[in-house]
Amino acid sequence: MRGLYLVTPDWDDTDKLVAVTAQAIEGGATLLQYRHKTASEALRSEQSSALLALCRRKNIPLIINDHLDLCERIDADGIHVGGTDASVAEVRSKIGKEKIVGASCYGDLQLARDAATAGASYVAFGGFYPSRVKKYEVATAPSIIIQALSELSLPICVIGGMTPDNARPLVELGAHSVAAISSVYSVEDHQAAAIAFASLFR
């Protein structure tokens, strides 16, 4: 797990979502998370299935945010859980050993330790910067990356207000991937934005 971890915005237009996502994957996104907090169950099923087909063509994993039932139903590659969702242990026991399980750990190293013990595939820290999409209660210190690398053998993802410029020092500290929504989806040239993120890992 390394590179741009693309996370979808709350767009209801499935065709637009798939088209823009395809451009970002062409630019170098290596992992996609489907996240739509306000979608109906029908829309969520439609969009995730369309994105899964895209990811299969492009040979990158699709992670579902929160919805274990959806992940299992479409046979996505994994699931990402947050602090208010099902526990990593619970999800891992239901989804099996082969799927990816990611865990939001905010700015809390103990959450990351617990997630690793429970079977997480990667941990995500943040927000590091103000986000246009998600509201974080904590400002995460970059030093948590160094601490986590010294203790954990899992890939580390950084999230929260990421741009190619402000993500660079976090990648230089050892972050394995950078999660982005607005910095890719809410710009004019989606492929160029993805290229800029991908270049951090070359």
Catalytic positions are 35, 104, 134
Q: Structure tokens of 22? A: 């395809």
Q: Which of 21, 86, 18 has the alpha carbon at shortest distance from 49? A: 18
Q: Are 131 and 94 in contact (CB under 8 A)?
A: no
Report CA-CA distances (Å) from 167 to 13, 37, 38, 58.
29, 25, 28, 25
Angle between helices 164-173 and 190-198 in degrees, nearest 10: 20
Q: Structure tokens of 146? A: 């160094």
Q: Are 126 and 2 in contact (CB under 8 A)?
A: no
The 10 Å Cβ neighbour count of residue 123 is 24
Q: Where are the beta strands (DSSP E) in 159-197?
A: 177-180
The Cα 8–Cα 113 span in angstroms is: 27
